[in-house]
């Protein structure tokens, strides 16, 4: 795959939209949540790059059946952290540079 030691890649969102996730042992509700998130990413409703308004991002995530506030907060924190920011309560500070 081009990177030494890399043997698997996570599927692209479009591949998950119609995937039979029950075949890998996921409960129906969880499978539908993953497909719903994949649909939202594929259509551009949810974007993980450039998250500035975390409240709006979390609200969009919570529109997907099966995603609640706790999960939305966690995903939001990880999305912002991946962009080089660390949550500090209500304030945000630059934590690291991107490579």
- Could you report the per-residue pLDDT of 68-95, keeping only the tens digit for each? 999 999 888 877 765 544 444 434 444 4
Q: Are residues 88 and 56 in the same domain?
A: yes
Helix or strand run (H / E) with residue 79: helix 69-82
21 DSSP assignment: G
**Residue 85 domain flag:** yes
C-alpha 29/C-alpha 51 separation (Å) is: 27
Residue 82 covered by a domain? yes
The mean pLDDT of 22-48, rounded to a whole number, is: 92
Q: Does one domain contain both 84 and 56?
A: yes
Pair 37, 59 in one domain: no
Nearest alpha-carbon partner for 49 in 78, 11, 89: 78
Number of structural domains found in the chain: 2
Query: Which residue range is the domain that position 21 belongs to?
Result: 9-45
- What confidence score (pLDDT) does residue 88 get? 46
- How far is Cα 52 from Cα 79, in angstroms, rounded to an integer? 10
Same structural domain, 39 and 22: yes
Q: How far is CA 18 from CA 8, 28, 41, 54, 66, in A?
A: 20, 13, 14, 28, 17
């Amino acid at each position: 795959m081009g990177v030494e030691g890399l043997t698997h890649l996570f599927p692209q969102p479009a591949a998950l939209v119609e995937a039979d996730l029950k075949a890998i042992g996921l409960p129906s509700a969880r499978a539908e949540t993953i497909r719903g998130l994949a649909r939202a990413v594929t259509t551009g409703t949810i974007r993980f790059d450039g998250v500035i308004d975390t409240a709006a991002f979390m609200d969009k995530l919570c529109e997907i059946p099966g995603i609640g506030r706790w999960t939305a907060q966690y995903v939001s924190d990880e999305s912002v952290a991946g962009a080089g920011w660390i949550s500090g309560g209500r304030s945000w500070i630059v934590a690291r540079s991107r490579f």
